[in-house]
Amino acid sequence: MAAALPNRIPNDSLDYRKSSIRNDDPRQRLIVALDVSSAAAAQKIVTAVGDSALTYKVGMQLYTAEGPQVVRDLVDSGRRVFLDLKYHDIPNTVGAAVAEAAKLGVRMLTVHAAGSGKMLRAAVDAAKASPDLMILAVTVLTSLDANDLEKIGVRGSVEDSVVRLATIALANGCQGIVTSAREASTLRAELGHSFALVTPGVRPAGTNARDQVRIVTPAEAIAAGASHIVVGRPITEAADPAAEARAILGQISG
């Protein structure tokens, strides 16, 4: 995969922690989701997007199909990788998985906040050997609403659940939170601005929501307090992925 990718991106643009989330370059905020089933399909997307994005999400679909090599190839090409495997297991197992992910050179990875403070702390501790790695805690999936939560025994509003889980995650050292931008403004108001806030479920205006429930536009997500937005199919399935990415960058800037 690496040999066919575009030219390597300079390393000085790759560090989230050294570059403010208010950076004038909107590419610092955009994460393109590679929700495909092969390295060849991922390569095609990365090549088509070109320098319109810096960071790519590798989730369960692509990682299960291709394994860690697809991550290594992206990292070797100079791309930043957001490894979105949503670890949720006993603390020892999650800590060991995070340690292995860190060896791949990923910059962000997800764990479920509902896994308990002990599990979150194990993940954070395992990542300490890699200062550039951010542990992001997933709160409530963007495909869920209050009715879904009630059916699994979670009482109260989605917003209440998100704030409760985010509070636990930050108290145990996580550097960021993953949630819908619909809860972003509340999180910023109650918990501040000292953490990354990554929002999936982002769709440009007029785009089909598909399996997402709590969706917002790129501009709405940024205005609500998101530091990063995750966009998949609107870019990856576009006739011109680079043009669609640039359009979204424009919305972010606006």
Active-site residue set:
86
Report residue 178 as tokens.
């993953």
Amino acid present at 201:
G
For 148, counting Cβ atoms within 10 Å of its Cβ (0-12 exposed, 13-18 middle, 19+ buried), the class is middle
Is the Cβ–Cβ distance between 203 and 234 less than 8 Å?
Answer: yes
